[in-house]
């Protein structure tokens, strides 16, 4: 676990060594940025999403207060030059996922070279894939120029295989939480998951993940559980979180819940989507895969419901908490659609929490979450009493 | 009081009691803000009449059109190409709403921190107050902003909604995307109406919509005279009504009004005393009956001489090029015209900054009031850039963020008065 917790520091050390040798670091803000392309040009991607409150006041000097804390934190770090990952980045990749980020990049582009990917929102319409494919090719040219290295198809295919493998391994790690005995806390799982955006060398990272899986296998054999047997099993969905912005996850577990699964960008969103390794044109394969990411910026975002339906069964979920950041319009509006699905289709308790990075509402959140977990516990024991083999499976169908 | 239209409204499934309340409030509000003005043009009587019949006679016309087999298409955005709707023999109406009345209903399905415009149209639907929405055979949404894009998913649970994808940048590939979306929209409208659009139909509708833009352009030129010959409120009302009214009749009536205005300009008469500060509005659209800010401004020794907004120059500035011979060329001309829209949903949208500065200079304004609806991220983020661009041109700007409620009226008045004082 220590290996995962120190990932950030090690990243900076390793990356700076490689940068001395002429390698470039690409700062990314979103799951939609195809890291395979970055790697295939010999560059190293790193996530720059801001997770702490500290730089927000500085961001608000030029950004409106009515923006989500992730955007304000990200911009605040950049403008105050207080994030070592931002400092280490040679160039940035943004995307037009939401209004706030799209317009924030206009400001960010003044600080570092920024390439903006234009994401279509009607992912199911035929124009979307054509358009996105062109955007992927446009990214390719930008990365090749910025990294000073051309991308050939073989190298890209190699990176596709590597990243598919990483996705599968992390997905497998996440499944340890699906069993009756829950071996690690949601907080620790977040530390593990977070490293997927902070590794320099993919082969070494795969090695680390495989060792961790071996360790976990051993723990699983021993039947160890980090929680009481009747703990309410919570699925956390919504906006991304990370170390520094994990207050809701922390409160859930402090109040006696177990976050067994995170359906968000920091969790398993996108991990099930693999790039087709057989497709003749690897860029097209990437375009197809990335366009399926079930982000709330897509309309209608049916993929998220499909994923949730699967995860609720897979992780034997007792209740769902939807965490959205204040002023994140897309996740906030979508919350009602998610709530309808959880409550009406799965008959499970659902709680929508809208908050920001500050600690001012911690006690209020604790009260709400405690009450909610009470309900979830009741519902979980009621469900357990009623549970017949396979019943959950049908529900999640 | 029972109305002659009760039966029609009942058929449209309106909440008659609440609707009567709405009309009463609207009438009083209109009386206070509009009928109290001095020296109004005679031509404004037409607008007074249209507004007084906005849920009456105009809806009756729509119902009659429907009875004769025509379809009604509702829109929320100046990106939806009306030329195509008209060419297919359908009627297009704007559905943007500017009243707070359905807010409580809207907040049952939308987050509170959604902009007032979105909450208003959702609220009008849920509270059964809008005969326009109920008259529509198709409601066209677009992916301009996060709030609208996601609200249409909710709205689609109650009404037949079709969503157009709007590009967010202006490269060749964006134009291509937009062209394919215009094509998809054309097929949808053709299917809805059962009318295949022929070159002649489209040529006529392009001309018709251009004519309406031309008359509004003429209005904008005339109103810029010194002294100011028409209030900003009246000019805004004309722009607002252009989204509801029959385009042929509207164009003819506003053309007559412009003749009258021209006479007034020649005579050198104005509606505001000497020393009234000329200001310009820029930012989010103001839909009927959102006259709050213009009224505050014009009660603060200032007059509005231009609106840089979708219910303003963003809708009327550019014409579709006429003279194309083939249907394909006409579609291209439409695509090009709509790609020029400088909505804040585009990035980096620098042309808007140029357009604002040019407009402010041409109008000779003392200052610009930037108006953003609370929680409208694209416009509130651009406000910062607009202020910089204007300040480089030596023009002061006041950034206002507000919604449809009346709670902040006094506070806004204080800020506007201070700004007007400063521009002297």
CB contact under 8 A, A333 and B110: yes
pLDDT at position A387 is 53
- The per-residue DSSP string of A37-76 comes to HHHHTT-EEEE-----STTHHHHTTTS-SSS-HHHHHHHH
Q: Which tens digits make up the pLDDT trace of B70-112? A: 999 999 999 999 999 999 999 999 999 999 999 999 999 999 9
Nearest-neighbour CA in chain A from B150: distance (Å): 6
Over residues B9-28, the mean pLDDT reads 96
Distance CA A309, CA B275 (A): 66
Q: Which residues of chain A have pLDDT under 70?
A: 382-397
pLDDT, position A397: 31
Per-residue pLDDT, averaged over B279-294, amounts to: 98
pLDDT in the model for residue A391: 38
- Distance between CA atoms of residues B225 and B96, nearest Å: 30
pLDDT confidence of residue A389: 43
Q: What tokens does A263 get?
A: 């359906």
Q: In chain A, whose CA is at the least distance from the CA of B387?
A: A62
Is ipTM beyond 0.90? yes
Q: What is the pLDDT of residues B341-369, one digit of tens each?
A: 999 999 999 999 999 999 999 999 999 99
DSSP helix, strand, coil percent of chain B (3-state; round to 5): 55, 10, 35
Q: Quote the CA–CA distance of A274 and A294 in Å, as a whole number.
A: 13
- Residues from chain A that touch B177, judged by Cβ atoms under 8 A, are 120, 127, 131
pLDDT of residue B1: 66
- B375 has a chain A CB within 8 A of its CB: yes
Residues of B in contact with A127 (CB under 8 A): 165, 177, 180-181, 184
Q: Which of B146, B347, B348 minimises the CB distance to A329?
A: B146
Picking from B309, B293, B283, B305, the residue whose alpha carbon sits closest to that of residue B383 is B283
Q: What is the pLDDT of residue A378?
A: 83
Q: Based on the number of CB atoms within 10 Å of its own CB, is B100 exposed (0-12), middle (13-18) or buried (19 or more)? A: middle
User: Residue A384 has what pLDDT?
Assistant: 67
> Quick check: B111 and A335 CB within 8 A?
yes
* Among the partner residues A66, A125, A336, nearest to B380 by beta-carbon distance: A66
Distance from CA of A58 to the nearest CA of B (A): 15
What distance in Å separates the CA atoms of residue A59 and residue A77, rounded to the nearest whole number?
8
Buried b (16+ CB within 10 A) or exposed e, A69-98: bbbbbbbbbbbeeebebbebbbbbbbbbbb
Which two three-digit tokens encode residue B364?
């000779």
Res B116 pLDDT > 80: yes
User: Do the chains contact at A103 and B184, CB–CB below 8 Å?
Assistant: no
Q: In this complex, how many residue pairs, one in chain A and one in chain B, have their CB atoms less than 8 Å apart?
A: 124
User: Taking a C-beta distance cutoff of 8 angstroms, is the pair A242, A49 a contact?
Assistant: yes
């Amino acid at each position: 676990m220590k290996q995962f917790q120190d990932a950030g520091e090690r990243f900076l050390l390793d990356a700076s060594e490689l940068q001395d040798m002429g390698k470039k670091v690409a700062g990314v803000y979103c799951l939609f940025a195809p890291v395979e392309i970055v790697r295939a040009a010999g560059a190293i991607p790193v996530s720059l999403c801001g997770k702490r409150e500290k730089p927000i006041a500085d961001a608000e000097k030029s950004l409106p207060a009515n923006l989500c804390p992730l955007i304000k934190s990200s911009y605040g770090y950049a403008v105050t030059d207080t994030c070592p990952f931002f400092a280490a980045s040679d160039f940035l990749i943004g995307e037009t996922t939401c209004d706030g980020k799209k317009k924030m990049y206009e400001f960010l582009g003044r600080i570092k070279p920024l390439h903006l990917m234009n994401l279509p929102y009607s992912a199911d319409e035929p124009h979307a894939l054509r358009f996105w494919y062109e955007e992927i090719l446009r990214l390719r040219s930008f990365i090749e120029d910025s990294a000073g290295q051309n991308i050939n198809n073989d190298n890209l295919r190699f990176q596709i295989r590597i990243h598919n493998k990483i996705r599968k391994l992390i997905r497998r790690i996440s499944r340890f939480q699906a069993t009756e005995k829950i071996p690690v806390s949601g907080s620790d799982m977040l530390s593990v998951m977070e490293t997927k955006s902070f590794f320099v060398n993919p082969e070494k990272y795969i090695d680390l993940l495989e060792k961790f899986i071996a360790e976990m296998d051993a723990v699983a054999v021993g039947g160890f559980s980090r929680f009481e047997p009747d703990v309410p099993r919570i699925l956390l969905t919504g906006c991304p979180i990370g170390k520094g912005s994990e207050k809701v996850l922390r409160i859930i577990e402090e109040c006696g819940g177990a976050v067994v699964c995170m359906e968000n960008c920091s969790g398993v969103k996108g991990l099930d989507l693999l790039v087709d390794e057989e497709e003749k044109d690897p860029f097209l394969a990437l375009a197809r895969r990335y366009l399926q990411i079930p982000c709330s910026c897509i309309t209608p975002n049916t993929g998220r419901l499909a994923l949730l339906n699967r995860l609720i069964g897979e992780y034997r979920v007792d209740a769902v908490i939807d965490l959205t950041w204040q002023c994140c319009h897309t996740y906030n509006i979508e919350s009602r659609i998610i709530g309808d699905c959880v409550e009406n289709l799965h008959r499970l308790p659902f709680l929508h929490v809208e908050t920001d990075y500050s600690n001012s509402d911690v006690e209020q959140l604790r009260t709400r979450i405690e009450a909610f977990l009470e309900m979830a516990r009741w519902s979980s024991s009621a469900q357990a009493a009623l549970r017949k083999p396979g019943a959950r499976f049908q529900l999640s169908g | 009081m029972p109305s002659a239209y009760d039966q029609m409204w009942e058929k449209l499934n309106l909440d008659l009691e609440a609707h009567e309340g709405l009309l009463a409030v609207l009438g009083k509000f209109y009386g206070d803000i509009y009928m109290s003005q001095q020296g109004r043009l005679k031509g404004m009587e037409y607008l007074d009449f249209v507004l007084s019949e906005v849920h009456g006679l105009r809806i009756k016309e729509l119902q009659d059109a429907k009875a004769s087999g025509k379809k009604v298409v509702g829109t929320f955005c100046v990106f939806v190409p009306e030329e195509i709707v008209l060419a297919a023999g359908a009627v297009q109406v704007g559905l943007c709403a500017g009243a707070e009345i359905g807010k409580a209903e809207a907040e049952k399905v939308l987050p509170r921190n959604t902009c007032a415009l979105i909450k208003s149209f959702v609220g009008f639907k849920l509270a059964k107050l809008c005969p326009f929405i109920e008259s529509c055979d198709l409601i066209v949404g677009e992916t301009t902003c996060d709030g609208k894009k996601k609200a249409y998913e909710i709205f689609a649970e109650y009404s037949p909604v079709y969503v157009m994808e709007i590009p967010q940048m202006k490269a060749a590939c964006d134009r291509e995307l937009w062209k394919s979306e215009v094509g998809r929209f054309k097929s949808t409208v053709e299917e809805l109406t059962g009318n295949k659009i022929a070159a002649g139909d489209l040529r006529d509708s392009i001309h018709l919509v251009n004519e309406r833009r031309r008359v509004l352009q003429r209005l904008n030129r005339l109103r810029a005279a010194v002294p100011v010959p028409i209030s900003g409120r009246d000019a805004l009302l004309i722009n607002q009504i252009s989204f509801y009214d029959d385009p042929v009749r509207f164009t003819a009536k506003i053309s007559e009004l412009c003749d009258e205005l021209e006479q007034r300009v020649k005579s050198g008469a104005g509606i505001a005393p000497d020393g009234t500060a000329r200001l310009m509005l820029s930012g989010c659209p103001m839909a009927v009956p959102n006259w709050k800010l213009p009224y505050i401004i014009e009660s603060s020794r200032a007059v509005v001489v231009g609106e840089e907004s979708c219910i303003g120059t963003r809708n009327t500035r550019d014409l579709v090029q006429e003279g194309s011979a083939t249907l394909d060329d006409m579609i291209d001309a439409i695509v090009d015209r709509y790609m020029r829209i400088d909505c804040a949903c585009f990035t980096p949208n620098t042309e808007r900054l140029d357009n604002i500065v040019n407009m402010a200079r041409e109008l000779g304004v003392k200052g610009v009031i930037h108006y953003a609806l609370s929680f409208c991220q694209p416009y509130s983020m651009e406000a910062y850039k607009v202020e910089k661009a204007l300040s480089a041109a030596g023009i002061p700007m006041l950034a206002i963020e507000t919604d449809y409620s009346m709670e902040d009226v006094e506070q806004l008045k204080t800020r506007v008065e201070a700004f007007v004082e400063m521009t002297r």
